[in-house]
């Protein structure tokens, strides 16, 4: 089992290497993940003067979209990897979003005082933290009483053909070693209730989970393969084991399989994410919205 420092070092190297792919495929990735960002925003109950913290912001979402909703507030975008946050800052400038700042830090060791933020978001970051319980305790610590945490993770591989098609093709040429339990990988948090339990252990209440459907849309099967092989952490790592002829065979395999998803001149491959929301107890010690939420797979009701 790698130590937390080893996990952070390896994640830093992985994501620094993926940053160029994330910038190159920005619009395709943002279209695919947009519904999840919208669901997180819906779960957070954003108010125009909120101080918001976005964890594992990568190239900036959902933090930049949240900043647009806060004309009197601000968003702190954080990530372990400076190269990813540099892209986020470039995207912010390009879109005229000024009420943000960026801080390089690990989710499990936040350089912020207790009770600093009204809300915290984590889109597709949880799976990569060295210690998910410690990170959740940090999110709860920096939230103000009554503040909300909303995150997203991927559900099981079978419901995410947008990535499993590529991984199955890679497995025809490379040994794809199953990750050790509780070490970083895309599907580490896929079990229903996994993230809610972390929230509850960190003292958050009124937790709710709901699924969000996404669709990866590319112009062609060839473009599907190009973008997956340049930005998906699992795929990029596995392809490093394969020589060029092997890569060409994998590419042909993936393209042949994804053709099944081609319709009307576009490739549309589905996937499913899960959003999880929870609330920190308010100052009076009462639960602010007791009974207002259920775990019935619906977004939380305001
Ligand atoms: C899949 S990307 C998500 C980026 C963005 N939130 C989005 O949804 O587009 C995962 C991000 O987690 C970051 N990450 C990995 N380990 C981390 C850690 N220990 N603390 C903070 N961020 C981390 C990576 O650098 C990467 O930018």
Q: Residues 59-93: pLDDT tens digits?
A: 999 999 999 999 999 999 999 999 999 999 999 99
Contacts 24+ apart (CB under 8 A), 103-109: 103/76, 103/77, 103/78, 104/78, 104/79, 104/80, 105/78, 105/79, 105/80, 106/8, 106/80, 106/130, 107/55, 107/56, 107/78, 107/80, 107/135, 107/138, 107/139, 108/4, 108/134, 108/135, 108/138, 109/138
Q: Residues 241-250: pLDDT tens digits?
A: 899 999 999 9
Q: What pLDDT score was predicted for residue 238?
A: 87
Q: What pLDDT score was predicted for residue 299?
A: 54
Mutation test of ligand 1: which of 125, 163, 188 has the most ligand atoms closer than 8 Å to its C-beta? 125
Domain-embedded: residue 243: no
288 or 264, which is more confident? Answer: 264
Nearest 10 degrees: Cα torsion 104, 108, 114, 115: 90
**Nearest protein CA to atom 13 of ligand 1, as residue:** 56
Q: What pLDDT score was predicted for residue 169?
A: 95
125 lines ligand 1 (CB under 6 A): yes
Domain-embedded: residue 166: no
Distance 246 CA to ligand 1 centre (A): 30
Q: What pLDDT score was predicted for residue 297?
A: 42
234 falls in which pLDDT band (50, 70, 90)? confident
Q: What pLDDT score was predicted for residue 287?
A: 52
25 lines ligand 1 (CB under 6 A): no
77 lines ligand 1 (CB under 6 A): no
Q: What pLDDT score was predicted for residue 179?
A: 83
**Nearest protein CA to atom 27 of ligand 1, as residue:** 58
CATH number of the structural domain spanning residue 54 = 3.40.50.150
| pLDDT (mean) for 207-220 | 98
Q: How far apart are the first and last CA of the chain?
A: 42
Q: Which of 17-21, 31-35, 106-110, 284-288 has the lowest mean pLDDT?
A: 284-288
Domain-embedded: residue 164: no
282 or 296, which is more confident? Answer: 282
Q: What pLDDT score was predicted for residue 16?
A: 96
Distance 58 CA to ligand 1 centre (A): 5
| pLDDT (mean) for 8-22 | 95
Domain-embedded: residue 242: no
Domain count, the chain: 1
Q: Residues 21-58: pLDDT tens digits?
A: 999 999 999 999 999 999 999 999 899 999 999 999 99
**Nearest protein CA to atom 8 of ligand 1, as residue:** 123
Domain-embedded: residue 203: yes
54 lines ligand 1 (CB under 6 A): no
Distance 284 CA to ligand 1 centre (A): 34
218 falls in which pLDDT band (50, 70, 90)? very high
Q: Residues 128-186: pLDDT tens digits?
A: 999 999 999 999 999 999 999 999 999 999 999 999 999 999 999 988 888 888 889 99
293 lines ligand 1 (CB under 6 A): no
Q: What pLDDT score was predicted for residue 285?
A: 64
85 lines ligand 1 (CB under 6 A): no
Distance 289 CA to ligand 1 centre (A): 30
80 lines ligand 1 (CB under 6 A): yes
107 lines ligand 1 (CB under 6 A): yes
56 lines ligand 1 (CB under 6 A): yes
SS3 232: coil
DSSP track, 168-181: HHHHTTS--PPPPT
d(CA 295, CA 88): 33
Range of the domain at 46: 4-156+184-217+272-280
């Amino acid at each position: 089992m790698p130590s937390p420092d080893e996990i952070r070092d390896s994640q830093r190297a992985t994501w620094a290497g993926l940053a160029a792919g994330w910038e190159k495929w920005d619009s395709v990735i943002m279209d695919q993940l947009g519904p999840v960002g919208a669901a997180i925003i819906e779960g957070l109950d954003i108010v125009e003067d909120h101080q918001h913290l976005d964890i594992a912001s990568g190239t900036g979402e959902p933090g930049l979209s949240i900043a647009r909703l806060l004309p009197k507030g601000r968003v702190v975008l954080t990530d372990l990897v400076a190269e990813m946050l540099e892209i986020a800052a470039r995207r912010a400038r390009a879109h005229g979003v000024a009420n943000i700042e960026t801080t390089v830090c690990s989710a499990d060791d936040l350089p912020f005082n207790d009770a600093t933020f009204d809300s915290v978001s984590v889109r597709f970051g949880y799976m990569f933290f060295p210690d998910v319980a410690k990170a959740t305790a940090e999110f709860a610590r920096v939230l103000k009483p009554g503040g909300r945490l909303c995150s997203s993770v991927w559900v099981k591989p079978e419901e995410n053909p947008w990535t499993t098609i590529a991984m199955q093709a890679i497995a025809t040429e490379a040994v794809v070693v199953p990750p050790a339990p509780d070490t970083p990988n895309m599907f580490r948090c896929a079990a229903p209730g996994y993230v809610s339990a972390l929230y509850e252990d960190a003292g958050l209440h009124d937790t709710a989970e709901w699924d969000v459907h996404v669709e990866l849309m590319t112009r062609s099967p060839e473009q599907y393969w190009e973008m997956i092989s340049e930005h998906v952490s699992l795929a990029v790592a596995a392809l490093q084991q394969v020589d060029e002829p092997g890569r060409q065979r994998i590419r042909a395999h993936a393209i042949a399989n994804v053709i099944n998803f081609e319709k009307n001149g576009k490739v549309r491959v589905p996937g499913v994410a899960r959003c999880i929301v929870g609330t920190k107890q308010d100052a009076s010690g009462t639960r602010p919205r007791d009974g207002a939420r259920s775990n019935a797979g619906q977004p939380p009701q305001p």
